[in-house]
Amino acid sequence: MLVLINVLVFAVLSFFGDTTNAEFMAAHGAMDWVDIVEKGQYYRLFTSIFLHFGADHLLQNMLILLLIGCRLERITGKLAYFIIYIGAGLVGAVNSVIFTLGASPNTVGAGASGAIFGVMGGLLFCILADLIQKKRHRVEEIGLTGMIFMVCSALSYGFFSNGVDNAAHIGGLIGGFLLTMLSRLLCKNR
């Protein structure tokens, strides 16, 4: 469902304009310093996680989401997964405003990658919890080494590429880890 929403939003925006144009994207809900910080348009923290700069950006994010999202959803359940995805996306967006837009106020930010890194953070928590509890049934096809490699390679790509917002990625990763931990704790207490 999340992939479908992202694709539909992209299709609608592509019909009306150029999704690679920062000005067009800012006019349609992407994050920028002036609108969020100076004008108080905080809804952009949410809308930006469903916007993508071009088909390549969308395709890359949705493929990763399809590959790993179903694993976390299977472990946490649909509602918790949705909350983790949106929550991590929001944490990533706030982190982006503080560190990326704060350092370069003319930057325009958008993309689901903070939320996707949140899914990675959630899976990382599940793998670590399985190891600590000596369980190997939930995510054994990935493993700790595989998950750490995935996170590190995705982050390193951001550090060595222009136009990639690693502040959003790191915020989403931490947000997803913590939200998954909270979700698992609340489920145990029921």
Helix count and strand count (H, E) for the chain? 9, 2
CATH number of the domain encompassing residue 126? 1.20.1540.10
pLDDT recorded at residue 189: 52
Catalytic positions, please?
A: 113, 169
3-state secondary structure of 105: coil
Amino acid of residue 177 = F
pLDDT recorded at residue 38: 95
CB-based contact 169:155 (threshold 8 Å): yes
pLDDT recorded at residue 186: 84
The neighbouring-strand residues paired with 167 are none
36 vs 42: CA distance, rounded Å: 5
The residue segments making up the domain with residue 64 are 2-188
CA distances from 140 to 107, 130, 136 (A): 40, 9, 6
pLDDT recorded at residue 190: 44
Task: Centre a 10 Å sphere on the Cβ of residue 87 and count the other Cβ atoms it contains.
Answer: 20
pLDDT recorded at residue 95: 96
113 vs 154: CA distance, rounded Å: 10
What total of structural domains would you count in the chain?
1
Low-confidence spans in the chain with pLDDT less than 50: 190
Q: What is the pTM of this model?
A: 0.90
Q: Which residue bears the tokens 């479908």?
A: 4
Amino acid of residue 71 = R
pLDDT in tens, 26-57: 999 999 999 999 999 999 999 999 999 999 99
pLDDT recorded at residue 141: 64
